[in-house]
Amino acid sequence: MKWVSCISTVLLSICVFMFSTSPSFGMINVGVLTKEAAKEKYGITMHARENGDAGIKVWLEFKKEGLLKKFTYAELRMDDHQGNYLVSAKLQPNPVHHRQSKGITTVAFSVDADQLAQCSFFVVCYTSSRGGVGYYLKAKDFLDLTNPVTKK
């Protein structure tokens, strides 16, 4: 009887060790996408327009194809001038205008033009139950900060 108890304890210990040393569930690999890589690899584009008292409206457009078929969520991330984290907020996919194609997904935020350089989108795609990929898309890498309004 002690033999069975000892084997059970050893097997349980091994299982706990293996589980604790393997990659955790929900872990994501994070990187930064440049304007060129976002467009070429994933078809992601960033646009901006004036938005009255709300400042500048900035949005991403993409089709849920390839990796983006597993699009899970997007966030606005804002850092201070030294690059330290200030705030983040989850963004809901919504059409930016009434003529938008049904096959296009958009996420957007509005910000004062002076704060645009500190803003970025964080796009996450969970590719499995074990985790996924997240990319930062910095507004300053995609838009002309002196005249951020794009033609669309």
- Cα angle 37, 38, 44; round to 5: 155
Position 6 pLDDT exceeds 80? no
Nearest residue to 91 via CA among 74, 77, 105: 74
Q: Is residue 116 over pLDDT 90?
A: yes
Token duo for residue 136: 């930062």
Query: Can you give the chain as a three-state secondary structure string?
Result: CHHHHHHHHHHHHHHHHHHHHCCCCCEEEEEECCHHHHHHHHCCEEEEEECHHHCEEEEEEEECCHHHHHEEEEEEEEECCCCCEEEEEEECCCCCCCCCCCCEEEEEEEECHHHHHHEEEEEEEEEECCEEEEEEEEHHHHCCCCCCCCCC
pLDDT in tens, 20-61: 444 445 688 899 999 999 999 999 999 999 999 999 999 999
| Domain boundaries along the sequence of the chain | 26-142
Task: Say yes or no to pLDDT of 101 above 90.
Answer: no
pLDDT in tens, 119-152: 999 999 998 777 899 999 999 999 999 988 886 5
Q: Is the pLDDT of residue 81 over 80?
A: yes
User: What is the pLDDT at residue 100?
Assistant: 81
Q: What is the CATH number of domain 26-142?
A: 2.60.40
